[in-house]
Structure 1
Amino acid sequence: MSIPPPPEPQGPPAQGPESPQDQPPAPGPPPSPQASTPYNPYAPPSQDPYAPPAQDPHTPYGAQPQPPYGTPPQTPYAPYPQGPQTPPGPFGPQPYQTWSQGYTPYNTPAPLNGMSVAALVLGVLCCVPGVGFVLGLVALNQIKKRGERGRSMAAAGMVLSAFGLIVWVLGATGVASDVWDGVKDSARTNSSTSPVKGECFDAPSGSLEGMTYDFDVVSCDGEHDGEVFAVVRMDSGSYPGDKKVTATADDKCYALQDAYAMDGWAVPDDVDIYYVTPTSRSWSLGDREITCVFGNTDEEASLPGGSLRNDATTLDSDQVAYLKAAHVLNSALDSAPDAQYVEDDLPGHKAWAGRVSTALTQQADPLESHEWPGASEKPVAALVKDLRAAQKEWAEAAKSSDADEFYGHYDKGADLIDPQKSVTARKALGLATTPPSYDENDGGGDGGGDAGGMEV
């Protein structure tokens, strides 16, 4: 019997070639994954129990396949669950809710209802009362059903159309006309603008001097502060200044007084000319009117009752014909030079005498050709004879070589046109017979003293 050798002593391995145990394993096929796959109790018996379940292409993502041996109790997955949950994504539940239709920040607003626009347009125009109201009702009904915009437009159109319908009904019955006439009368009575030609008024301050912002239109039958005889409108543009406005008013108002009061003899001596002019402030608001006014020479006093108007609206044709002829001479006499004495301006006075001579001819011709009523025919013929003689003297004065010669013809010519010579003819025609007093301050006119002005 043989005896096995004794074991070798324990110690570090000997140095040298590697032992077979230290050699790396020989290459070969990788280990099978079956060892790490969990057991699937629902796998069919014909398959490897350790193989992963097959995915049905028709099964929604994330849904469990139906096992062949019964369906385990579970709640089916709803793709869009109700409540705060969110559908799971490929990598699990998403942390935030995604944007959906109706919540996107770039969502298109609801459309505007067309009927509401039509209702508003017809309500503003008021061309067809009632139609805008009906369209507004239709628009509100459509907006409620469709969720469109335009509710406020439809309501506004209904209100405006209803107002237009009311005005139309009142106008058809004549009520609106009566109401409007009352409004105009009230506005005229309390207007802050100047009164019109032919109206009489009272100044709030009781004076026709200074500034005023309002006029109280009153009847001319009673006492009043002023009577308007002309209204002049200035040209548009920038404000020309106080001096320019006053100068224009002075020229225009004195020239227009005879057109309103044709018989200057009928205007009392205590009546003067005033004017209401715009200021720079009222000019900026569109005021361009100069109002020419008759007032008392004492600006604190009033005019007596009765209108001063005597023109074609109050006179007959014979009276108008006589006064028109007389105005030609009056205009020429008012054009005398500024120099009071002939020696100071002989050429100016000679030119003035020539204008008077021409005016006398222009006055005598129509008086002579007019057919006068029986009682006035002879007095007018006698007046024409004096006018012809005066014309010759004034014509000679226009040819004078010196002041003495001028005075000689001037005195004769002035005597022939003395106002007293026309009293008989005036009386026969029914005109005023008291000549106005002459005042050197007014340049020989029929009125009183210096003119005054009022600004608005």
Structure 2
Amino acid sequence: MATPPPLGPQPPHGGGSFASPGQSQAGGGQPYPYQAAAQPWGQAWGRAYPAPPQPPPVNGPAIAALVLGVLCFLPGVGLLLGIVALVQIRKKGERGKGMAVAGIVLSTIGALLMTLAFTTGGARDAWDGFRDAASSAGGTFSVEKGECFDSPSGSLEEYAYDVDIVPCDGEHDAEVFAGFSMPDGGYPGDDAVTDVADDRCYARSEEYAMDAWALPVDVDIYYFTPTRQSWRYGDREITCMFGNVDAEGSLTGSLRRDATTLDDDQLAFLEADAILNDAFDQVPDTEYVEDDLSGHKVWASQVVRALEQQTSALRAHDWESSAEQAVTDYVEALDEAREEWEAASEASDAEDFTEHWDKAYRLTGGPKAVTAREALGLATESPTYDDEDAGGGGGEDGSGAEV
């Protein structure tokens, strides 16, 4: 259930510094760095993942063979390196067999194309077709929405040549919740790419994990982004994922709470909840209410309108009999909260505003919210903040609850 943010300013959702350069599944066999988003829920972005026992290293000649094969550069050398890599991998137990095989295949194609260039006037058409196919193929690995994976290095802050897809039911390093493509054109620069990733991944996370109360406190956002090098080969993909902020932690179980996992009542409840969440997101970014009393009063009016829409949506839904009374009681609590926000929007001073804010805060996420959620089979533990100074349970605004 939605609860208003705790008293005082909350961290912005987007922007900020990044812990490491970002990278998505890159074309051209480029190594992929992971990127931590700029704002966690109550934690600092970009902290490392737990390091499992050191995996076998990736064979160097296999990497070189893949790069030369994708670039169609020195295909003879790429073919030779691929063969050498397979021999070394077999003897040393290293990783990279797939890259070696891909390098051999691509180098063979490149050699054939070069031969064709000397024997026929159709070489350029063949070459263009090959380059287009290579670009459209994307990177050496891909992960889809709803999939979970482990990083071979055990970290989401290092370059990766591949990932290991694993079931989401068990422990895993990350869970992919969205993906989208950047527009074509020249490479916009590292900062522009990470800004887009941060803004859009944050917004898309709320579509995938609709129940903020169900999110563990140790969840963070990471993403793959294109590099300048991979951009040259058609890579435009940004992949958004949930990870763990704890260097010694991991994720267990899927965080997905959307139309694919929720029943009709749960979905209706959380969709109405999102209306209020959006209003809470607009809280003025000041340290104290008195720093911008007029801005806070305008914001309170926005919350009033959101509560009107939320309660209207909740009343319009046909609830199962087992949950109907609990939801009805909760809607009545929201009506009381709306009255407090209306009073806050007309407050004469900061102290008056804060008093009404605190009362509304306790109503929105109080016992009736918990009872309604329990009846619907949703999470019943309200999110909390380290710096929370208001009573009655956590809030939906700020870095601690909203994803």
Give me the TM-score of the superposition, normalised by structure 1. 0.53
Q: Distance in 1 between matches of 2:142 and 2:246?
A: 21
Of 229, 250, 253, the residue aligned with 1:302 is 250
Q: Distance in 1 between matches of 2:375 and 2:315?
A: 16
1:195 Cα deviation from its structure 2 partner: 0.8
Equivalent residue number for residue 366 of structure 1? 313
SS at match of 1:324: helix
**Do the aligned residues in 1 keep the contact of 2:221 with 2:241 (CA within 8 Å)?**
yes
Equivalent residue number for residue 115 of structure 1? none
1:447 Cα deviation from its structure 2 partner: 4.8
Q: Distance in 1 between matches of 2:397 and 2:191?
A: 21
- Match status 1:378 vs 2:378: no
Q: CA 1:193/1:395 → structure 2, altered by over 3 Å: closer, same or farther?
A: farther
**Do the aligned residues in 1 keep the contact of 2:140 with 2:162 (CA within 8 Å)?**
yes
Equivalent residue number for residue 257 of structure 1? 205
Write out per-residue CA displacement over residues 163-209 of structure 1, whole angstroms, 9 at most, x where no aligned residue. xxxxxxxxxxxxxxxxxxxxxxxx99xx6334110111111221111
Q: Distance in 1 between matches of 2:373 and 2:299?
A: 27
Runs of at least 5 residues in structure 1 that lack an aligned partner in the other structure:
1-155, 157-186, 452-456
Q: Distance in 1 between matches of 2:161 and 2:340?
A: 52
Give the number of equivalent residue pairs: 262
SS at match of 2:156: coil
Equivalent residue number for residue 159 of structure 2? 211
Equivalent residue number for residue 231 of structure 1? 179
Of 168, 171, 175, the residue aligned with 1:220 is 168
- Match status 1:429 vs 2:376: yes
Structure 2 counterpart of 1:390, which letter?
Answer: A
Q: Distance in 2 between matches of 1:356 and 1:399?
A: 13
1:276-315 mapped onto 2 (5 Å cutoff) = 276-299=224-247, 301-304=249-252, 306-315=253-262
Equivalent residue number for residue 281 of structure 2? 334
Moved over 6 A (4+): none
1:362 Cα deviation from its structure 2 partner: 1.1
Question: Rg larger in 1 or in 2?
Answer: 1
Q: CA 1:343/1:194 → structure 2, altered by over 3 Å: closer, same or farther?
A: farther
Runs of at least 5 residues in structure 2 that lack an aligned partner in the other structure:
1-118, 120-136, 389-395
SS at match of 1:437: coil
SS at match of 1:309: coil
**Do the aligned residues in 1 keep the contact of 2:213 with 2:401 (CA within 8 Å)?**
no
Q: CA 1:207/1:375 → structure 2, altered by over 3 Å: closer, same or farther?
A: same
Equivalent residue number for residue 320 of structure 1? 267
Q: Distance in 2 between matches of 1:411 and 1:435?
A: 16
Write out per-residue CA displacement over residues 306-354 of structure 1, whole angstroms, 9 at most, x where no aligned residue. 2221211111111110110011111211221221211212232222212
SS at match of 1:230: strand
1:406 Cα deviation from its structure 2 partner: 1.7
SS at match of 2:193: helix
**Do the aligned residues in 2 keep the contact of 1:273 with 1:447 (CA within 8 Å)?**
no
1:351-362 mapped onto 2 (5 Å cutoff) = 351-362=298-309
Equivalent residue number for residue 5 of structure 2? none
Write out per-residue CA displacement over residues 97-145 of structure 1, whole angstroms, 9 at most, x where no aligned residue. xxxxxxxxxxxxxxxxxxxxxxxxxxxxxxxxxxxxxxxxxxxxxxxxx
Structure 2 counterpart of 1:325, which letter?
Answer: A
**Do the aligned residues in 2 keep the contact of 1:225 with 1:303 (CA within 8 Å)?**
yes
Equivalent residue number for residue 77 of structure 1? none
Structure 2 counterpart of 1:367, which letter?
Answer: L
Bigger relative contact order (CA 8 A; separation at least 6): 2
1:218 Cα deviation from its structure 2 partner: 1.9
Equivalent residue number for residue 391 of structure 1? 338
Write out per-residue CA displacement over residues 277-327 of structure 1, whole angstroms, 9 at most, x where no aligned residue. 2221122222222211111112453212x2221211111111110110011
Equivalent residue number for residue 398 of structure 2? 444
Equivalent residue number for residue 192 of structure 1? 140
Give percent identity, aligned residues only: 56
Q: Distance in 2 between matches of 1:372 and 1:354?
A: 29
Write out per-residue CA displacement over residues 343-372 of structure 1, whole angstroms, 9 at most, x where no aligned residue. 212232222212211111111001112111
SS at match of 1:345: helix
SS at match of 2:329: helix
Write out per-residue CA displacement over residues 191-244 of structure 1, whole angstroms, 9 at most, x where no aligned residue. 633411011111122111143332222222322110001112222222222222
Q: Distance in 2 between matches of 1:333 and 1:394?
A: 12
Of 211, 220, 239, the residue aligned with 1:272 is 220
Q: CA 1:425/1:319 → structure 2, altered by over 3 Å: closer, same or farther?
A: same
**Do the aligned residues in 1 keep the contact of 2:281 with 2:398 (CA within 8 Å)?**
yes
Structure 2 counterpart of 1:409, which letter?
Answer: H
Q: Which moved more, 1:223-232 or 1:343-352?
A: 343-352
Q: CA 1:298/1:192 → structure 2, altered by over 3 Å: closer, same or farther?
A: farther
Equivalent residue number for residue 135 of structure 1? none
1:439 Cα deviation from its structure 2 partner: 4.8
- Match status 1:347 vs 2:301: no
Structure 1 counterpart of 2:383, which letter?
Answer: P
Q: CA 1:248/1:420 → structure 2, altered by over 3 Å: closer, same or farther?
A: farther
